[in-house]
Amino acid sequence: MSLILKYWAVRLGLAGTAIWGIIAFSSTALAQVVPDNTLGGENSVVTSTDSVDTVTGGATRGGNLFHSFQQFSVPTNGAAIFNNAPDIQNILTRVTGGSISNIDGLIGANGTANLFLLNPNGIVFGRDAQLDIGGSFVASTANAIQFGEQGLFSATDPNAPPLLTVNPSAFLFNQPPNGSIKNISTAPAGLTPSGANEFGLRVADGRSLLLVGGDVSLEDGGRLNAFSGRVELGGIVGVGTVGLAATGNTFSLTFPPESPLSNVTLSNDGRASVRGVEGGNIVVNANSFTAANGGRLAAGTEGQGNGGDIIVNANNFSISGIGATGLSSGLYNQTFADAAGKAGNIFVNTKVFNASPGSGIFNTVQRGSVGDGGNINIVADSLSLNDAELNANTSGQGDAGNIFMRADGAITLTNSSLIVSLVTEGAIGAGGDIEIQTRSLTLTNGSQVSSSVFRQEGGLPGGQGKGGNIRVTATDSIDLAGLSSNQRFSSGLLTITEQGASGQAGDITVNTGTLRIADSAAINAATRNASGGGNITVNANTLEATGGGQVRTTSRSSGKAGNINLNVTDRIILSGSDSTYFDRLAQFDENFVSDAGPNSGLFASATKASTGQSGSLNISTGQLNVKDGAEVTVSNQGTRDAGNLIINTRSLNLNDGKITAETTSGNGGNIELQVSRNLGLRNNSRISTSAGTAQQPGNGGNITINTPFIIAAPDENSDITANAFSGSGGSVNITSERVFGLVPRSRQELQTLLRTNDPTQLDPIRLQSNDITAISQANPSLSGTVTFNAADIDPSRDLAELPTTPVDASTLVAAGCPSGAENRFVVAGRGGLPPAPGNKLSSDALLTNWATLETPETENRATVETTTPEVINDTVTPLVEATTWQFGSKGEIILTNANPTTPNQFEATPSNCPSS
């Protein structure tokens, strides 16, 4: 006697007695199994004993047994038992009347026969519905079942079956509308392979449970169980044929691509499960797949075998809500505790993917298990997560699975949504990779794509294994913005290996047209242990980081911070800071708030608590603008050296911006700036490789600048420094045609100008002028060097034929002030041969100070020659005194006496013309 039949015998107080032989049952359970007369002399025979209907007779064709009923329902506490011969392989039943089948009792059969229930009107499995079948169970609202080329067994054209000896091959839907199938069964269903109580409809382990509609729904906790077997749900709307194939002991369905599909719904903890010693498979084919309020599909391995797959093919995929059990709606594939096998994969193919609050897709290796996690693969036209989660993690001994997402349109994550790959505490295994391919990716309100190796917790050691990599390709744009509702988490892309863990953090690669990072969002690869942090690579047309947006690799322990490589074709704009930073820091601490500070920028750095090396930063871009407090840094606030920073660009503009490779106690890093057009500094901007900024040892780093022009607006305290506090000063090596507005300062000059010999005060930042320094603040004998080199001029660039007759320059200079108080600025030439381009020059040869004419009353006014304006030859364009300069559209410098409209300008302070 089977487990369920034994349950019924015990429930009825008649253990040890064949259930279909019982004749004394509650009179409230009336039989509703009524045969028809369509099989002639082979009609089905139903013997009723109050609550039990025993079915005999029928038409036998080879291994197939056919039954036909006018009505087929099983009431609460009732049973319908098919008393078939042991050699029967398939029992095929049809309902030819006009009523649906309400199953709220037991359906049983002998041996290992498969049971097919065909009722075009619809089928409902009630709260107490149960199965006691040794084979598979298939319920369908199709009109007929096809048997290869031999013929049909039809419920709507109920003739006697011909010689149908082969396995059924298809379901025919030809008289719409097609009936629906609903299951709300929570009846006891024996024990799971792991020994837990199970409920709902259950077939024998390793067999199939198929529902083929019309619409199919699992509601109010209704469950389907085919442990280590197969569950398949689906249906079509209108006319069509659904293929049926048998492989060993399991059946599978094939849906026609030309037929519109029906809907599949799992609600209020409705669940289908195929977990087992050897995991089974779940397949759904639907127009709309909905899992709400705890509705879920579950697969996985509980023993020594591998788990099976979950596959959902639907035009619309929607999951939302948490059920009464506390479990999220969605898809689950797991390697369970004490199991030793690889989890299966999860595949979702859809046009529209929506995951709402309380839902998720999970592929996990549980603690105590041995085996790798499976993958999560989603292909969609558009994909949206709202406070939802995609999670591939390992808590046991095995690697986490990978996550792959592709959307032809947009992928949007909002309200703390997560796409995560985790190596949790106590786990031994690598994190899975996350790959996203889409047109546009948007992460807002604390949403993250992250790969983490967890720290020690709850008496368990930290995770041991390399974190997974993140790769995002978005052909149009990537937008990362904002904080979670509690302001604890930033939106962004994150890889991290945490304190007490071991294993390098994963790398992050971004390929896109436009990358925007705003309002505290970040791309972050971090290490908080002895393992290295991940590297970040960005390939884009434009990159904008504003409002505290950051790209950063950081070390907070002894591990080295990763490197950042940016290849940005057009421009990089870094601007502003996070206005909420300090409030959040006071509330949460640096475990949740950026350890790089509030400013927007690029950071390959190490924090105060770190003993690790900073990373390096390589930037290649058309234009780099750093303004309003933004930073580009490879600095080290810990005990080690700063990293190296290389920038290749046409135009570099700093306006209250910083480029630094500073240290608090280690050696300063190296900065190399290759700027093909111009470098501008304004409003307290800084380029620095200074060391020992916390009055500690360390040698200043080196700064190499190669650009035609360096321009600093006068008296705005923009400095270039390679200082050291007590170590050796570094070097500043500038190759340029001209340097405007910057003055090299020795330690002695700083001491004189600042009127102090206190090393802590010998900092050019305390001067309003724009300075270049490479000094040792505490040791005059260890100062570094500042070197100027003439730029290698391209002899073919902007050449004009020179006149053979000398020109009197005084005839070409026009007045810049009213008549009677004219000034004149004339450069008549050096005379003799110029130096070779490679020769080092004195600073005076390249440096040009901004000149400001004083008022006539000023005591120390420079002597200015005045003259009456001369008539200029009308064949020669007059030279007009330049009062300002600006950047052209290609980054070139233009001297002009008109107010430019472009913001990329520096204007000399106007001075009064002398009176006549």
Write out the DSSP string of 71-127: EEEB-TT-EEEE---TT--EEEEEE-SSSPEEE-SEEEESTT-EEEEE-TT-EEE-T
pLDDT of amino acid 799: 38
The residue type found at 743 is: V
pLDDT of amino acid 901: 47
pLDDT of amino acid 800: 40
What separation in angstroms does the CA of 146 have from each of 152, 201, 556? 5, 26, 67
pLDDT of amino acid 24: 33
- Among residues 2, 1, 54, which one has the least CA distance to residue 202? 2
pLDDT of amino acid 637: 87
pLDDT of amino acid 457: 87
Query: What is the DSSP secondary structure assignment for residue 636, as one 8-state letter?
Result: B
For 741-761, give the secondary structure using H, E and C. CCEECCHHHHHHHHCCCCHHH
Count Cβ atoms below 10 Å from residue 45 Cβ, excluding itself.
Answer: 13
pLDDT, averaged per 10 consecutive residues of the chain (916 residues), comes to 43 35 39 89 92 95 96 96 96 96 98 97 98 97 95 90 88 95 98 92 97 98 97 96 94 92 98 92 98 97 90 98 96 91 95 98 93 96 98 93 97 98 93 98 98 90 93 99 91 93 93 98 93 96 98 92 97 94 76 79 90 94 98 91 95 97 90 97 95 83 96 96 92 96 94 92 94 93 92 46 49 45 40 45 58 42 32 44 60 59 45 42
Evaluate whether 548 touches 520 at the Cβ level (below 8 Å): yes
pLDDT of amino acid 831: 38
**Distance (Å, whole) CA 798 – CA 795:** 8
pLDDT of amino acid 583: 81
Structure tokens at 56: 């005999």
Evaluate whether 143 touches 16 at the Cβ level (below 8 Å): no
**Distance (Å, whole) CA 711 – CA 893:** 10
The residue type found at 220 is: D
Q: What are phi and psi of 759, to 5 degrees?
A: -55, -35
pLDDT of amino acid 908: 42
Q: Kind of pairing, strands 170-173 and 240-247?
A: antiparallel
Evaluate whether 148 touches 166 at the Cβ level (below 8 Å): yes
- Among residues 681, 581, 683, which one has the least CA distance to residue 628? 683
B/e letters for 259-284, b = 16+ CB within 10 Å, e = fewer, are bebbbbbbbbbbbbbbbbbbbbbbbb
Terminal-to-terminal C-alpha distance of the chain: 124
Structure tokens at 225: 């169980």
Backbone dihedral region for residue 62 (phi beyond 0: left; psi -120 to 50: alpha; all else: beta): left
Backbone dihedral region for residue 872 (phi beyond 0: left; psi -120 to 50: alpha; all else: beta): beta
Evaluate whether 400 touches 342 at the Cβ level (below 8 Å): no
pLDDT of amino acid 403: 98
Q: Kind of pairing, strands 376-380 and 346-355?
A: parallel
Please tell me whether residue 595 adopts helix, strand or coil conformation: coil
pLDDT of amino acid 885: 60
Please tell me whether residue 452 adopts helix, strand or coil conformation: strand
Evaluate whether 655 touches 628 at the Cβ level (below 8 Å): yes
Residue 889: Cβ-neighbour burial (10 angstroms; 0-12, 13-18, 19+): exposed
Between CA 208 and CA 216, with CA 211 as vertex, the angle to 5 degrees is 145
**Distance (Å, whole) CA 333 – CA 374:** 7
Torsion angle (degrees, nearest 10) of CA 290, 293, 296, 302: 170
Q: What are phi and psi of 770, to 5 degrees?
A: -100, 120
pLDDT of amino acid 526: 92
**Distance (Å, whole) CA 716 – CA 712:** 8
**Distance (Å, whole) CA 665 – CA 724:** 9
pLDDT of amino acid 808: 53
**Distance (Å, whole) CA 320 – CA 245:** 33
How far does CA 253 lie from the centroid of its chain? 34
Residue 809's contacts (CB-CB under 8 Å, 6 or more residues apart) are 826, 827, 828
Per DSSP, the residues of 10-53 read: HHTT-TTS-GGG-----TTS--EEEE-STTGGG-EEEEEETTEE
